[in-house]
Amino acid sequence: MSALTSALGVLNDMVSAALLLVGAAFCLISGIGLVRFPDTVSRLHAASKAQTLGLLFVVLGAVLQMPLGKAPALLLVAAFSLLTAPVTGHIVARIAYRTDAVERRQIVLDELAARLISEKRLRSGERDRDPDADRGPEPPGDH
């Protein structure tokens, strides 16, 4: 029984080490992508996708080494990262798009452009319109 426990311990350590190394490699690739990619959108892909995957591998590798009582805290870190990384990337991408930090000619399908144009027209139409025009004529005797 002791040999089996020892073999499972070694297998656990090997799997954990492999997960930690793969996670570290993804984090390194993400960092290289942040430095090397030319534009904001490409950098966002490196920051959100590869970094999140790297963190998940590192967390899984650490979970295998932790006592079972502490594993839920690490899994919460992974869940929080999975929930927040796409939202943060989306917000940064929209800000980059609206501030013209994105080269729009490289975008194949630009669905946001039409929406932003229509929103701009609505805002400018509301600003140009006379606010008293909606009230209609004043009733007699209220002067």
Q: What gap in Å lies between CA 129 and CA 47, rounded to an integer?
A: 44
DSSP 127-142: HHS-TTTTT-SPPTT-
DSSP state of 143: -
Q: What gap in Å lies between CA 110 and CA 103, rounded to an integer?
A: 11
Q: Based on C-alpha coordinates, what's the Rg of the chain?
A: 27
Q: Counting beta carbons within 10 angstroms of the beta carbon of residue 105, is it exposed (0 to 12), middle (13 to 18) or buried (19 or more)?
A: exposed
DSSP 28-45: HHHHHHHHH--SHHHHHH
Give the tens place of pLDDT for each residue, 62-118: 999 988 888 899 989 999 998 998 888 889 888 888 888 888 777 788 788 888 888
* Percentage of the chain exceeding pLDDT 90: 32
pLDDT at 11 over 70: yes
Regarding pTM above 0.85, the answer is no
- Averaged pLDDT of the chain: 84
Write down the pLDDT at residue 80: 93
Region of poorest pLDDT, from 17-31, 75-89, 101-115, 121-135 = 121-135
Q: What gap in Å lies between CA 78 and CA 72, rounded to an integer?
A: 10
Write down the pLDDT at residue 25: 96
pLDDT at 142 over 80: no
pLDDT at 56 over 90: yes
From the list 104, 109, 108, 102, the residue with the least C-alpha distance to 38 is 102
